[in-house]
Chain A
Amino acid sequence: METIVFSLLNGVIYGLLLFMLSSGLTLIFSMMGVLNFAHASFYMLGAYFAYTISEASSFWIALIFAPILVGLIGAAVERWGLRTVHVNGHVAELLFTFGLAYLIDEVVKIIWGRNAVDYRVPELLDFPLFELFGAQYPAYRIFTLFVALAMLAGLWFILNRTRAGLIIQAALTHPHMVGHLGHNVPRIFMTVFGVGCALAGLAGVIGGNYLVTDPAMAVQMGPIVFVVVVVGGLGSLMGAFLAAMLLGLLQTFAVAIDTRFADIFGFLGLSETSEVGAISIASLAPMLPFLLLVIILMVRPRGLMGDREL
Chain B
Amino acid sequence: MSDQTVQNFESLAPSAGQKFTQRVLPLAVFALIILIIPMFNPSNLMLTLLNVMGINIVFALSYNMLLGRGGLLSFGHAVYFGLGGYAAVHAMRAIENASYGDGGFWASYPVFFLPVIGFGVGALAGAIIGWPSCRRAGTPFAMISLGVAELIAAAGFMFGSIFGGEEGISGDRMNGPELFGLSLGPINEVYWFIAFWTILGTVGIYAFTRTPLGKMSEATRDNPERVEFVGYDPQRVRYLVFIFAGGFAGLAGGMAAVQYEIFTPEAVSLAPSGMVLLMAYIGGIRYFAGPILGAVVLTYMQSMLSDYSEAWLLYLGILFMAIVMFAPGGLAGIVAGLFNGLRADDRSERVSKWAIMVVGCVLAFVGLVALVEVAIRWSNGYGEVFEPFGMHLPTASVLTWVLIVLPLAAGFAILRFGATRNKEGQA
Residues of A within 8 A of B (CB): 33, 35, 81, 84-85, 88, 90-92, 94-96, 98-100, 102-103, 106-107, 109-111, 113, 223, 226-227, 230, 275, 279, 286-287, 290-291, 293-294, 297-298, 301, 309-310
Contact = CB atoms under 8 A, between A and B. Distances in A.
B288 interface: no
B140 A106 contact: no
B143 to A, nearest CB: 5
Contacts of A95: 277, 281, 320, 324
A99 B324 contact: yes
Interface stretch (B23-31, B119-127, B146-154): B146-154
Given A35-B142, A279-B158, A293-B147, A100 B314 contact: no
A199 to B, nearest CB: 21
B257 interface: no
Given A294-B148, A310-B140, 9 more contacts: A90-B139, A91-B71, A91-B73, A100-B321, A102-B317, A106-B317, A290-B148, A293-B144, A301-B136
B321 A103 contact: yes
B274 to A, nearest CB: 8
A103 B318 contact: yes
Interface string B364-381: 000000001001100100
Contacts of B160: 275
- State the 3 A-B residue pairs at the shortest beta-carbon distance, nearest first: A293-B147, A102-B317, A106-B314
B140 A85 contact: no
Nearest to B73: A91
Nearest to A82: B325
Nearest to A89: B328
A87 to B, nearest CB: 9
B135 interface: yes
Interface string B318-339: 1011001100100000000000
B355 interface: no
B406 interface: no
Contacts of B318: 103
13 contacts: A35-B143, A81-B325, A95-B277, A99-B324, A103-B317, A106-B314, A110-B375, A226-B146, A227-B147, A286-B154, A294-B148, A297-B144, A310-B140
A135 B120 CA distance: 54
Q: Which of A98, A279, A286, A291 has its CB near the most chain B CB atoms (within 10 A)?
A: A98
Contacts of A287: 150-151, 154
B150 A290 contact: yes
B379 A96 contact: no
